[in-house]
Amino acid sequence: MALGLGITTELLEKPVLLTPREQGLDDALQFWYENGKDIVLSVGAKVSRWLDQSRNDRNAGQTNTLLQPTLIKGGVAFDASNNEYMDILDSSGSDASFSIAQGGEFCVFMAIMPGSVVNQVYLSDSTSEFMEIMSDKKFRFRGNDGGNLTSVLTFADDTFSESTRVIAFGRDNSDQLRIWIDGVNTPYTLASTNTTNDRGFDVANIAVRSDSDRHVDGRILELFMYNKYPAENKIENLNEFLMSKFSHL
């Protein structure tokens, strides 16, 4: 664009940000809890259901009002002191948990506002299988199918804080664990025996059902998961999709 006096500017093209269902991975999308979309309240601002947008009828639900999280800014806020969590249920209220097979790819995207970065389990099946922020420098994944195997991803610098907004974590087709933090593909080290982790993973709860020391204390703003590790350009697009919505909070 010419502005006179020989000065020319070029408009930078912004990438088109596609939603989780617009990535050409619709068959791989397992659930999608979209910020501000189809959140059902029970008493006051307590959340009884967060309806799945993937069309798989895997809703986040909690029938016990004492354990229900609270609606804040279109997401759900968990109070660790109340041991709050949600189950994955179908529209009839029956169990809708599912499994990632041993050696199977997956990728979960979490937009969060942590109240703590110590022992925060965001996705689990009881205490034997989980994804957890352990500390400001550690993220832990434990699978169970084929026998328990725990991998602790350790970062050189302080990585997680209360300002962390987006985490993408998954396993690619070579059993390598991959993690992106606030849109950055982040290197880590692992114990030598756990450099790969091919164990299956059962997905039954948002937060954790029965481990009072590791309940989420903070907000989940948006959450979705694929049973496939997407191509890098799709991961970048999905990270930017979430960052554009929540990085200012």
The per-residue pLDDT for range 173-220, each reduced to its tens digit, is 988 999 999 999 999 999 767 777 899 999 999 999 877 678 999 999
In a domain, residue 4? The reply is no
In a domain, residue 119? The reply is yes
- Check whether 5 has a pLDDT greater than 80: no
Model pLDDT, residue 2: 47
- Check whether 35 has a pLDDT greater than 60: yes
Rg (CA), the chain: 19
In a domain, residue 19? The reply is no
Least confident of 1-10, 26-35, 190-199, 209-218: 1-10
Spatial neighbors of 98 by CB under 8 A, at least 6 apart, are 30, 58, 88, 202, 203
- Check whether 233 has a pLDDT greater than 70: yes
pLDDT tier at 127, thresholds 50, 70, 90: confident
In a domain, residue 12? The reply is no
In a domain, residue 5? The reply is no
The per-residue pLDDT for range 49-99, each reduced to its tens digit, is 999 999 999 999 999 999 999 999 999 999 999 999 999 999 999 999 999
- Give whole-number Cα distances, 140 to 130, 149, 211, in Å: 8, 11, 15
In a domain, residue 201? The reply is yes
Counting the structural domains of the chain, the total is: 1
